[in-house]
């Protein structure tokens, strides 16, 4: 059964996309093609190596921790697409624009006018980095599910990767991700992301409640497997203070994402399905500790504002970034 899932992965692979889809804006570059072909054959090798990476439909082995996440509400709506849910916390971390300029590769501009048009009162000389701590649940395509996993990292939205001074991309250079989940780890590495196989607390949920004198306090932490020493932890409490509008979160979470710039990931987050509306969207305030490239050493961000929510998503993988020239998220 598990090999059927790899067949699905192969089916989605860009080599086949190149053969089957002819997008007018798609300029295929030789070295990218070479890269796709290598990646295709490495998945093919995995397919025939036949180790069992997967849980195929629903039932989890006994003894494995059970998530509290509600089921994927859109799997049946988009049976031929990769869908899932993302439960967790998304926070905006203001950093000095000067620091952002040092961290983001110099060939890419920063679209300051784009984030300022969404956040007119964002402090001068600052840039909104993003921290996401998310549990991926019931990720599937064609009825085949992969095991749940968790990931977290710092992302840099409003990056002008096409140098058109217009289209916003999100640069996601590094991730902490569930160790042992070879498909998710490989999936992220194929974008050129620096991926740290990690253990999480809680193990199979987005966060857990902790005792505190502040209401609605939750904890989340990720630690890479030795010998690497990456980590990220969050402690958030409920707040009445909604500093950044939901529209801002919708905007950057839906930007096409890249790491080394060879291909782009397009994840459309839906904020209007039952998983979001049933629990609502909770504004939170708290502290994040990060030890993860491109930051040097451990950094702590206090009084960070964000949202705790679940959302459904549709993901289109390994797309040529050029496809998104002029994209604004509403086409």
Ligand X SMILES: *[C@@H]1O[C@H](CO)[C@@H](O)[C@H](O)[C@H]1NC(C)=O
Contact footprint for ligand X (CB under 6 A): 29, 31-32, 68-70, 78, 81, 87, 113-114, 117-118, 165, 168, 205-207, 251, 261-262, 268, 270, 272, 275, 278-279, 310, 314, 316, 328-330
Q: Identify which of residues 179 and 316 has a Cβ nearer to ligand X in the complex.
A: 316
Give me the least distance between CB of 323 and ligand X, in Å please.
11
Q: Identify which of residues 42 and 328 has a Cβ nearer to ligand X in the complex.
A: 328
Give me the least distance between CB of 260 and ligand X, in Å please.
8
Q: Identify which of residues 228 and 237 has a Cβ nearer to ligand X in the complex.
A: 237
Q: Are strands 169-171 and 257-258 parallel, antiparallel or unpaired?
A: parallel
Query: To which residue do tokens 């969404």 refer?
Result: 118
Q: Is 121 exposed, middle or buried (0-12, 13-18, 19+ CB in 10 A)?
A: exposed
Give me the least distance between CB of 285 and ligand X, in Å please.
18
Cis ω for the linkage preceding 226 (within 30 of 0) = no
Q: Identify which of residues 86 and 177 has a Cβ nearer to ligand X in the complex.
A: 86
Q: Identify which of residues 207 and 236 has a Cβ nearer to ligand X in the complex.
A: 207
Q: Identify which of residues 119 and 230 has a Cβ nearer to ligand X in the complex.
A: 119
Q: Residue 291: which H helix or E strand, with range?
A: strand 282-291
d(CA 265, CA 317): 5
Give me the least distance between CB of 259 and ligand X, in Å please.
12
Q: In a 3-state reduction of DSSP, which class is residue 231? A: strand
Query: To which residue do tokens 């620096």 refer?
Result: 194
Give me the least distance between CB of 251 and ligand X, in Å please.
4
User: How many residues in the chain?
Assistant: 331
Give me the least distance between CB of 150 and ligand X, in Å please.
11
Q: Is 295 exposed, middle or buried (0-12, 13-18, 19+ CB in 10 A)?
A: middle
Give me the least distance between CB of 162 and ligand X, in Å please.
12
The answer to whether residues 181 and 195 touch, using CB atoms and an 8 Å cutoff, is: no
Nearest residue (beta carbon) to ligand X: 329
d(CA 183, CA 205): 19
Q: Identify which of residues 261 and 294 has a Cβ nearer to ligand X in the complex.
A: 261
Give me the least distance between CB of 283 and ligand X, in Å please.
16
Helices (H) and strands (E) in the chain, counts: 8, 15
Q: Identify which of residues 3 and 316 has a Cβ nearer to ligand X in the complex.
A: 316
What are residue 300's phi and psi, to 5 degrees? -120, 135
Q: In a 3-state reduction of DSSP, which class is residue 10? A: helix
Q: Identify which of residues 84 and 230 has a Cβ nearer to ligand X in the complex.
A: 84
Q: Are strands 264-270 and 299-319 parallel, antiparallel or unpaired?
A: antiparallel
Q: Is 329 exposed, middle or buried (0-12, 13-18, 19+ CB in 10 A)?
A: middle
d(CA 45, CA 317): 20
Give me the least distance between CB of 84 and ligand X, in Å please.
12
């Amino acid at each position: 059964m598990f090999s059927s899932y790899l067949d699905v992965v192969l089916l989605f692979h860009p080599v086949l996309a190149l053969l089957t889809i002819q997008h007018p804006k798609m300029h295929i570059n030789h070295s990218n093609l070479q890269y796709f072909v290598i990646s295709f054959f490495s998945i093919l090798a995995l397919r025939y190596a036949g180790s069992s990476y997967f849980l195929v439909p629903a039932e989890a082995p006994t003894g494995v921790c059970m998530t509290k996440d509600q089921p994927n509400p859109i799997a049946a709506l988009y049976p031929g697409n990769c869908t899932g849910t993302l439960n967790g916390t998304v926070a905006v971390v203001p950093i000095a624009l000067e620091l952002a300029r040092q961290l983001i590769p110099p060939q890419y501009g920063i679209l300051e006018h784009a984030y300022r048009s969404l956040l007119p009162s964002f402090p001068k000389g600052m840039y909104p980095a993003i921290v996401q701590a998310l549990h991926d649940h019931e990720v599937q395509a064609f009825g085949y599910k992969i095991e749940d996993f968790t990931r977290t990292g710092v992302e840099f939205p409003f990056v002008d990767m096409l140098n058109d001074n217009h289209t916003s991309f999100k640069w996601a250079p590094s991730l902490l991700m569930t160790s042992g989940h070879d498909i998710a780890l490989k999936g992220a590495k194929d974008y050129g992301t620096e991926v740290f196989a990690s253990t999480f607390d809680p193990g199979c949920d987005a966060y857990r409640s902790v005792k505190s004198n502040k209401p609605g306090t939750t904890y989340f932490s990720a630690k890479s497997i030795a010998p690497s020493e990456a980590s990220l932890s969050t402690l958030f409490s409920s707040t009445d203070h909604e500093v950044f509008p939901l529209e801002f979160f919708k905007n950057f979470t839906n930007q096409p994402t890249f790491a080394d710039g060879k291909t782009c990931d397009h994840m459309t987050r839906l904020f209007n399905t039952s998983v979001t509306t049933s629990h609502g969207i909770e504004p939170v305030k708290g502290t994040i500790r990060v030890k993860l490239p491109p930051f040097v050493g451990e950094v702590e961000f206090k009084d960070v504002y964000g949202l705790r929510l679940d959302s459904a998503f549709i993901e289109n993988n390994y797309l040529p970034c050029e496809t998104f020239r002029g994209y604004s998220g509403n086409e």
